[in-house]
Structure 1
Amino acid sequence: MAEQNLFHDAYQPCQIAQRVRDMGVAKARAKPLTLFVLALLAGAFISLGALLFTVIVTESSLGFGVTRLLGGLGFCLGLVLVVVGGAELFTGNNLLAMAWASRLISTREVLHNWCLVYLGNVLGCLGTVVLVLGANTAGMGDGAVGISAQQIAQAKAELSWLEAFARGVLSNTLVCLAVWLAMGGHSVFDKIIAILFPISAFVTVGFEHSIANWFFLPYGLALGEQGSIALSGVAGNLLAVTLGNIVGGTLLVAGVYWLAYLRGEPDSSAH
């Protein structure tokens, strides 16, 4: 009975920290082609979650908060596919900072992983935009989905740099916490439940996710009239949110948990 309970109990936070650290080492040293292919998948997965969010919030009469919550639950599709299906997502990979802080991987290895995965994520998003345009998903609801997509993109492009950055910090804090909680579970069900609350929360309250925005913004641009969405606003959003995501994931999650559980471990520099 004791063994059965041990198997089903979630990992303790200190164990999660060790698992995330070791996962960082494996990710940093994975084969480049494997990383890139899995990054393409992650970009597509997050885009599908973003598209589902767009459809859900279109012409909803349930009220602002409830509509955003339902949209956030739909968006969870993306990270569920990434975590359970297996893919490489830039924002989640900000947790590599734990392995770096433990001196198990080099700065060069971290930056190589981040750059390759970010590129793959972007291409996965843009490829999904092309497919969704070909499918004419924007025509659903007599064109209402397309209007929603344009409005979402325009609202993101009009955020100030500080707003976009701060929302990026908060977003990836919750995304990395979702990954962290999922690492504490044993079963697929555990991992899905761990993902639902943090991800639906960040979407509901309007935080910004850089990879999702590589779908939202190009999709809105493609649907809108030329000049309706400022390209400078699009570029500013993507830069500010990406930097904010890095700060949220590396400092507020990886950094804090490293300080709490892994700082000064005798084996931290011996691997």
Structure 2
Amino acid sequence: MDSDAHSLEIIAPDKIAKLVEAVGIRKARLGFLPTLTLGTLAGAFIAFGAMAYTVAITGSELGFGPTRLLGGATFSLGLILVIIGGAELFTGNSLVVMAWASGRVSTGAILRNWTIVYVGNLIGAVATAVLVHQSGVMTLGGGSVGTTAEGILLSKLAISPFAAFLRGILCNVLVCLAVWMSFAARNVPGKVMVIVPPVTAFVMLGFEHSVANMYLLPVAMLYKNGTVDVLALLANLAPVTAGNIVGGGGLVALVYWLIYLRTAPAAGPV
């Protein structure tokens, strides 16, 4: 009975802050190959969520809001795989800023982690896009899935850089809150339950996730033109990535650091 009651309890925010800081230190110390490999896995995991999202909203007659709700809930698969399966996601790793702000991780170490993870995410997402294209998934529904993918591509390319930056900020506030709250849960069902609402919300609201875009743009470009427009991809990823860093690192990690860890003594950077 005591163990069952314990499993239903959540971990308090001040303790979550210490856990996130400790995890950030471990992430910064992880070797190059494990970091890159786990980053590649995360890129593929987010691509699976984006792939499922594309199929889920195709042909929906539920109306704009309910269709976005369905798509967002489906997309949550990606972050669930990252958190439960274990992988290194660039957007979630914005929380390493907490360990950096405490002086436990050096600037070089955090930039190293972000760079390796970002490259790994890109490899995993683009590789998955190529596999999806070659497998014919985009031709499902008489090509309607491919048409949906093209529509997603056009809508994302039409966003101005400034709007993409702001949507990137808003997106990663919600993503990092999902990661943060996953630390509060003591079991897998609890973690899944807290991940789904914030992820669903950012997708519904049209916010921009850099790693999701690493899949969504290339897969549509491949279906439409047979090749990837690298310049167009980078034009979207640059402001979105910057926004993701500000949203997750600044508005979540630094804010919680100021609340819970600012007065804690530093033990020196890794």
TM-score range, shorter chain: over 0.9
Report the Cα offset of residue 233 of structure 1. Answer: 4.2
SS in 1 for 2:76: helix
Q: Report the 3-state secondary structure (helix = DSSP H, G, I; strand = E; otherwise coil) of the residue aligned with 1:90.
A: coil
Q: Where does 1:200-215 land on structure 2 (aligned, <5 Å)? A: 200-215=200-215
Q: Deviations over 1:235-271 (max 9, x none)?
A: 22110000000000100000100000001113x3368
Alignment TM-score, normalising by the size of structure 1: 0.95
- Measured against aligned partners, the alpha-carbon deviations of 1:97-121 in whole angstroms (never above 9, x if no partner) come to 0000000010000000000000000
Cα displacement (A) at 1:32: 1.3
Q: How does 1:189-228 map to 2 (within 5 A)?
A: 189-225=189-225
**Structure 2: runs of 5 or more not aligned:** none
| Alignment partners' CA distance in 2, 1:193 and 1:86 | 17
Partner of 1:242: 241
Task: Give the equivalent residue in structure 2 for 1:261.
Answer: 260
Q: What code does the residue aligned with 1:27 have?
A: K
What is the letter of the counterpart of residue 269 of structure 1? A
Q: 1:65 is matched with which residue?
A: 65
8 A contact 2:105–2:268 mirrored in 1: no
**Residue deviations 1:187-221 (CA, integer Å, cap 9, x gap):** 00111001000000000110000000000111111
**1:165 and 1:41 mapped to 2: Cα distance?**
25
Match of 2:151 in 1: 151
Query: Structure 2 length as normaliser, TM-score?
Result: 0.96
Q: For 1:25-174, what aligned pairs fall within 5 Å after superposition? A: 25-174=25-174
What is the DSSP-based 3-state SS (H/G/I as helix, E as strand, rest coil) of the residue aligned with 1:54?
helix
In 1: Cα distance, 2:226 partner to 2:137 partner = 20
- RMSD of Structure 2 on Structure 1 (CA): 1.7
Going from structure 1 to structure 2, the CA distance change for 1:61 and 1:3 (only over 3 Å counts) comes to closer
Cα distance in 1, alignment partners of residues 235 and 2 from structure 2: 54
Deviation by residue 1:64-113 (Cα, 9 ceiling, x = unmatched): 00000000011000000000000000000010000000000100000000
Query: Number of aligned pairs?
Result: 269
Aligned residue number for residue 9 of structure 2: 9
1:242 partner amino acid: T
Mapped partners of 1:237, 1:50: distance in 2 = 17
